[in-house]
């Protein structure tokens, strides 16, 4: 599948921004993993665009810190669905391109809202997974923590192997605070600044996801959005690419490599072909 020719001009613009670029920030959301067939919550193909969960409540309530305390089994039901979707999927060409670009450019960071761990698996190193990772569990009572490959051997909701209290994934549920260490790290990398900022596959609802784009814009740093849908930031970015994440990133990266006379790493072989 190739990019619509209407978007080709925008791809070219991004490639020209990359030519003298030393540092890139990739802000990513569920739309990037949508190209691995993981459902998003909102926007194109979103699970919960106009609908409540089958428990009759919005997803934001089901996946909230308050609900985990009140009805852990209910919250765990929806957490398990995210994990089950990850288990059946692998990272895609978009994650791969971001990891390859990290190896090519002097300084690349990923700020992701995704809890699927795909950036890590695709080879990115500089990742701030601001909402955590479903594969990391911790006890709600003692200090016990563990990483699990998947949830196939867990009784849901799982109990702490050490004290039998309820376990939870180390993810930020709705209504919970962001981890201070990750926020600190985010502030630090933003302070150091970037030459180019991408916002990919996110409905851009959270201030800490929108702000880096706004700050870049205020400083005159080029900004790019990749999303087949319109979001609140679509009008504000320098380049808006109305396409799917994996194919757009592949087109940008292979176009850049061609323009610079670099041997292309690998062709587009994402799961959405």
Residue with tokens 């500089």: 126
**Residue 45 region by backbone torsions, left for phi larger than 0, else alpha for psi between -120 and 50, else beta:** left
User: Does the protein bind ligand NAD through residue 124 (CB under 6 A)?
Assistant: no
Burial class (CB in 10 A: 0-12, 13-18, 19+), 55: middle
Query: What is the helix, strand, coil percentage profile of the chain, to 5?
Result: 35, 15, 45
Q: Which does 201 bind (CB under 5 to 8 A by kind): ligand NAD, Zn ion, none?
A: ligand NAD
Tell whether residue 15 is a contact of Zn ion (CB under 5 A): no
From residue 199 to residue 238, what is the string marking binding to ligand NAD with x (rule CB under 6 A)?
--xxx----------------------xxxx-x-------
Give yes or no for a contact between 215 and 188, defined as CB atoms under 8 angstroms apart: no
To ligand NAD, the closest distance from the beta carbon of 217 in angstroms equals: 19
- Binding site partner of 162, from ligand NAD, Zn ion, none, Cβ cut-off 5-8 A by kind: Zn ion
> In the bound complex, what is the minimum distance in angstroms from residue 69's beta carbon to ligand NAD?
19
List 24, 26, 27, 31, residue binding ligand NAD (CB under 6 A)? 31
Residue 12 partner contact from ligand NAD, Zn ion, none using kind-dependent CB cut-offs of 5 to 8 Å? none
Task: Determine whether 131 is an active site residue.
Answer: yes
Distance between CA atoms of residues 139 and 158, nearest Å: 9
Q: Which residues of 15-39 are buried (b: 16+ CB within 10 A; e: fewer)?
A: bebbeebebbbbbbbbbbbbbbebe
List interacting residues with ligand NAD (CB under 6 A): 29-31, 33-35, 38, 40-46, 113-116, 131, 201-203, 226-229, 231, 244-245
The residues carrying an active-site annotation are 131
């Amino acid at each position: 599948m190739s990019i619509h020719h209407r978007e080709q001009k925008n791809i070219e613009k991004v490639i020209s921004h990359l030519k003298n670029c030393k540092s890139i920030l990739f802000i990513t959301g569920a739309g990037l993993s949508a190209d691995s067939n993981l459902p998003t919550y909102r926007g194109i193909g979103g699970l919960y665009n106009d609908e409540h969960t089958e428990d009759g409540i919005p997803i934001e309530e089901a996946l909230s810190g308050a609900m985990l305390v009140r009805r852990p089994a209910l919250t765990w039901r929806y957490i398990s669905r995210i994990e089950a979707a990850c288990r059946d999927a692998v990272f895609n060409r978009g994650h791969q391109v971001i990891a390859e670009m990290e190896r090519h450019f002097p300084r690349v960071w990923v700020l992701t809202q995704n809890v699927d761990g795909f950036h890590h698996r695709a080879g990115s190193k500089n990742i701030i997974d601001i909402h955590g990772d479903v594969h990391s569990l911790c006890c709600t009572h003692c200090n016990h923590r563990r990483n699990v490959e998947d949830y196939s051997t867990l009784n849901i909701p799982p109990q702490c192997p050490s004290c039998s209290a309820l376990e939870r994934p180390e993810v930020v549920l709705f209504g919970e605070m962001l981890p201070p260490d990750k926020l600190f790290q985010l502030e630090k990398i933003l302070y150091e600044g970037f030459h180019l900022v991408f916002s990919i596959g996110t409905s851009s609802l959270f201030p800490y996801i929108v702000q880096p784009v706004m700050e870049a814009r205020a400083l005159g740093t080029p900004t790019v959005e990749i999303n087949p849908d319109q979001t609140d930031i679509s009008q504000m970015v320098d380049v808006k690419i109305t396409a799917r994440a994996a194919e757009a990133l592949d087109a940008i990266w292979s176009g850049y490599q061609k323009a610079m006379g670099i041997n292309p790493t690998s062709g587009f072989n994402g799961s959405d072909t």
